[in-house]
Amino acid sequence: MSITSEAATSPPVAPTVWFLNGPNANLYGLDGNNVYGSDSFPTLQARCEAKARALGLSLHFVQSNWEGQLVDWIQEARGTAAGIIINAAGLTYTSVPILDALLSFPGRIIEVHMSNIWRRESFRHHSYISKAADGVIAGLGGDGYEFAIEAVARLIRV
Protein backbone atom coordinates (compact mmCIF):
# COMPACT_ATOMS: atom_id res chain seq x y z
CA MET A 1 0.00 0.00 0.00
CA SER A 2 1.34 3.47 -0.82
CA ILE A 3 0.40 6.62 0.99
CA THR A 4 0.23 9.68 -1.24
CA SER A 5 0.02 13.09 0.33
CA GLU A 6 -2.61 15.61 -0.74
CA ALA A 7 0.16 17.99 -1.82
CA ALA A 8 1.68 15.41 -4.14
CA THR A 9 -1.59 14.64 -5.94
CA SER A 10 -3.31 18.07 -6.18
CA PRO A 11 -2.47 20.27 -9.16
CA PRO A 12 -0.69 23.49 -8.10
CA VAL A 13 -3.06 26.41 -7.58
CA ALA A 14 -2.57 29.12 -10.23
CA PRO A 15 -1.91 32.51 -8.62
CA THR A 16 -4.64 35.02 -9.45
CA VAL A 17 -3.83 38.29 -11.21
CA TRP A 18 -6.31 41.04 -12.04
CA PHE A 19 -5.71 43.09 -15.20
CA LEU A 20 -7.73 46.28 -14.81
CA ASN A 21 -8.45 48.59 -17.75
CA GLY A 22 -9.94 52.04 -17.34
CA PRO A 23 -12.17 54.39 -19.34
CA ASN A 24 -12.30 54.07 -23.13
CA ALA A 25 -9.92 51.09 -23.28
CA ASN A 26 -12.81 49.19 -24.87
CA LEU A 27 -12.39 51.49 -27.90
CA TYR A 28 -8.77 50.49 -28.64
CA GLY A 29 -8.28 49.63 -32.31
CA LEU A 30 -11.73 50.88 -33.32
CA ASP A 31 -11.20 54.56 -34.08
CA GLY A 32 -8.14 54.51 -36.36
CA ASN A 33 -6.18 56.27 -33.61
CA ASN A 34 -2.70 54.81 -33.94
CA VAL A 35 -1.62 56.06 -30.52
CA TYR A 36 -3.02 52.81 -29.13
CA GLY A 37 -2.12 50.52 -32.04
CA SER A 38 -4.45 48.38 -34.12
CA ASP A 39 -5.24 45.58 -31.64
CA SER A 40 -8.91 45.63 -30.66
CA PHE A 41 -9.76 45.27 -26.99
CA PRO A 42 -10.97 41.65 -27.44
CA THR A 43 -7.69 40.88 -29.26
CA LEU A 44 -5.69 42.37 -26.39
CA GLN A 45 -7.72 40.33 -23.93
CA ALA A 46 -7.10 37.11 -25.90
CA ARG A 47 -3.35 37.85 -26.07
CA CYS A 48 -3.18 38.47 -22.33
CA GLU A 49 -5.21 35.40 -21.43
CA ALA A 50 -2.96 33.20 -23.60
CA LYS A 51 0.18 34.68 -22.02
CA ALA A 52 -1.19 34.21 -18.50
CA ARG A 53 -2.16 30.61 -19.25
CA ALA A 54 1.34 29.89 -20.55
CA LEU A 55 2.80 31.32 -17.31
CA GLY A 56 0.42 29.39 -15.04
CA LEU A 57 -1.56 32.42 -13.88
CA SER A 58 -5.30 32.77 -13.46
CA LEU A 59 -6.13 36.14 -15.08
CA HIS A 60 -9.18 38.36 -14.52
CA PHE A 61 -9.06 40.77 -17.48
CA VAL A 62 -11.68 43.48 -16.99
CA GLN A 63 -12.55 46.98 -18.18
CA SER A 64 -14.74 49.75 -16.81
CA ASN A 65 -15.46 53.36 -17.64
CA TRP A 66 -16.32 53.92 -13.94
CA GLU A 67 -13.77 54.91 -11.32
CA GLY A 68 -15.77 53.32 -8.47
CA GLN A 69 -15.96 50.00 -10.30
CA LEU A 70 -12.16 49.96 -10.59
CA VAL A 71 -11.87 50.72 -6.85
CA ASP A 72 -14.32 47.88 -6.10
CA TRP A 73 -12.27 45.42 -8.18
CA ILE A 74 -9.03 46.44 -6.43
CA GLN A 75 -10.71 45.88 -3.05
CA GLU A 76 -12.02 42.51 -4.27
CA ALA A 77 -8.49 41.53 -5.26
CA ARG A 78 -7.26 42.08 -1.69
CA GLY A 79 -6.74 38.75 0.00
CA THR A 80 -7.46 36.71 -3.13
CA ALA A 81 -5.02 37.95 -5.79
CA ALA A 82 -1.24 37.89 -5.88
CA GLY A 83 -0.95 40.76 -8.33
CA ILE A 84 -2.66 43.60 -10.14
CA ILE A 85 -1.81 45.04 -13.54
CA ILE A 86 -3.54 48.33 -14.18
CA ASN A 87 -4.01 50.71 -17.07
CA ALA A 88 -6.22 53.31 -15.43
CA ALA A 89 -6.29 55.24 -18.75
CA GLY A 90 -7.49 58.83 -18.21
CA LEU A 91 -7.97 58.19 -14.48
CA THR A 92 -4.19 57.74 -14.18
CA TYR A 93 -3.80 61.52 -13.90
CA THR A 94 -6.65 62.27 -11.51
CA SER A 95 -7.61 59.38 -9.27
CA VAL A 96 -6.63 59.53 -5.61
CA PRO A 97 -9.32 56.87 -4.85
CA ILE A 98 -7.65 54.39 -7.21
CA LEU A 99 -4.22 55.21 -5.72
CA ASP A 100 -5.55 54.70 -2.18
CA ALA A 101 -7.14 51.37 -3.11
CA LEU A 102 -3.89 50.21 -4.72
CA LEU A 103 -1.89 51.27 -1.65
CA SER A 104 -4.12 48.98 0.42
CA PHE A 105 -3.38 45.99 -1.84
CA PRO A 106 -0.66 43.74 -0.33
CA GLY A 107 0.45 42.05 -3.59
CA ARG A 108 2.57 43.18 -6.53
CA ILE A 109 1.40 45.96 -8.89
CA ILE A 110 2.42 46.80 -12.43
CA GLU A 111 1.20 50.00 -14.12
CA VAL A 112 0.93 49.75 -17.89
CA HIS A 113 0.09 52.12 -20.73
CA MET A 114 -0.28 51.36 -24.42
CA SER A 115 1.30 54.68 -25.40
CA ASN A 116 4.45 56.41 -24.14
CA ILE A 117 2.64 58.89 -21.90
CA TRP A 118 5.78 61.06 -21.48
CA ARG A 119 5.92 61.69 -25.21
CA ARG A 120 2.38 63.07 -25.17
CA GLU A 121 0.64 66.12 -23.71
CA SER A 122 2.08 67.39 -20.42
CA PHE A 123 -1.15 66.60 -18.52
CA ARG A 124 -0.33 62.92 -19.10
CA HIS A 125 3.14 63.18 -17.53
CA HIS A 126 2.12 62.74 -13.89
CA SER A 127 0.60 59.45 -12.80
CA TYR A 128 -1.08 59.03 -9.41
CA ILE A 129 -0.90 55.26 -9.93
CA SER A 130 2.92 55.11 -10.07
CA LYS A 131 3.29 55.74 -6.33
CA ALA A 132 1.72 52.32 -5.71
CA ALA A 133 3.38 50.45 -8.59
CA ASP A 134 6.38 48.12 -8.43
CA GLY A 135 7.08 48.97 -12.06
CA VAL A 136 5.73 50.87 -15.05
CA ILE A 137 5.60 49.76 -18.70
CA ALA A 138 4.59 52.30 -21.34
CA GLY A 139 4.79 52.84 -25.08
CA LEU A 140 4.94 49.23 -26.23
CA GLY A 141 1.28 48.73 -27.14
CA GLY A 142 -0.11 45.20 -26.84
CA ASP A 143 3.41 43.80 -26.41
CA GLY A 144 3.66 45.90 -23.25
CA TYR A 145 0.52 44.20 -21.92
CA GLU A 146 2.19 40.82 -22.38
CA PHE A 147 5.42 42.11 -20.79
CA ALA A 148 3.36 43.32 -17.83
CA ILE A 149 2.06 39.78 -17.31
CA GLU A 150 5.60 38.40 -17.48
CA ALA A 151 6.76 41.03 -14.98
CA VAL A 152 4.02 40.32 -12.46
CA ALA A 153 4.61 36.56 -12.82
CA ARG A 154 8.28 37.05 -11.91
CA LEU A 155 7.54 39.40 -9.03
CA ILE A 156 4.99 37.14 -7.37
CA ARG A 157 7.34 34.15 -7.60
CA VAL A 158 10.33 35.73 -5.82
Q: Determine the size of the site formed for ligand DHK (CB under 6 A).
A: 9
Helix (H) or strand (E) run with residue 51 in it:
helix 41-54
DSSP string computed for 135-151: EEEES-HHHHHHHHHHH
Is there binding between residue 95 and ligand DHK (CB under 6 A)? no
125: annotated active-site residue: no
Is there binding between residue 98 and ligand DHK (CB under 6 A)? no
Choice from 63, 64, 115, 127 touching ligand DHK (CB under 6 A): 115
Tell me how far apart the alpha carbons of residues 144 and 28 are, in angstroms, rounded to a whole number: 14
Is there binding between residue 117 and ligand DHK (CB under 6 A)? yes
* Sheet of 108-113, strands arranged across: 58-63, 16-21, 83-87, 108-113, 135-138
35 φ, ψ to 5°?
A: -55, -35
Is there binding between residue 70 and ligand DHK (CB under 6 A)? no
Catalytic residue among 36, 60, 126, 145: 36
In the complex, what is the shortest distance from the CB of residue 124 to ligand DHK, in angstroms, rounded to a whole number?
A: 5
Catalytically annotated residues:
36, 113
Given the rule CB under 6 A, which residues bind ligand DHK?
24, 87, 89-90, 113-115, 117, 124
